[in-house]
Amino acid sequence: MSILDFFVKDAHAMAPQAQQGGGGYEGIIMLVIMFAIFYFLLIRPQTKRAKAHKALIENLALGDQVVTAGGIHGKVAGMQEGVITVEIASGVKVKINRASIAGKQGQELEQK
């Protein structure tokens, strides 16, 4: 056996293998299934929570007990277009954005 035979055998061993065809739809089907799982586990619940939060903010009324995103509890004392005045203690009123309302007092515990 010569050195040339040794290199020729290695060259044949390194030759590219023929690719097998087929299986084109399997990848697409797997992507569709993954997107469906992603949609039902992540996207859909988030849109439901967003709709519920939007409805909560739109239905706020004077005197409602609310909790802000920062954890401040208080009573709605005034409402303007994008700002709500919350009375957190007797005579202490704070203006906050409507989006900062996390929920009505007592309601956020029931949802969990």
3-class DSSP state of 97: strand
Count the residues in the chain: 112
Fold that domain 26-111 belongs to in CATH: SH3 type barrels. (2.30.30)
For the question of whether the overall pTM of this predicted structure is more than 0.75, the answer is no
Residue 86 burial class via C-beta count within 10 angstroms: exposed 0-12, middle 13-18, buried 19 and up: buried
Q: What is the pLDDT of residue 109?
A: 46
The structure tokens 């802000």 sit at 68
pLDDT at 27: 85
The answer to whether the CB of 73 falls within 8 A of the CB of 61 is no
Q: pLDDT tens digits for the chain (112 residues)?
A: 567 666 666 655 555 665 665 567 888 999 999 999 999 999 999 999 999 999 999 999 999 999 999 999 999 999 998 899 999 999 999 999 999 999 998 765 445 4
Distance CA 80, CA 51 (A): 21
Assess contact for 56 and 50: CB atoms under 8 A. no
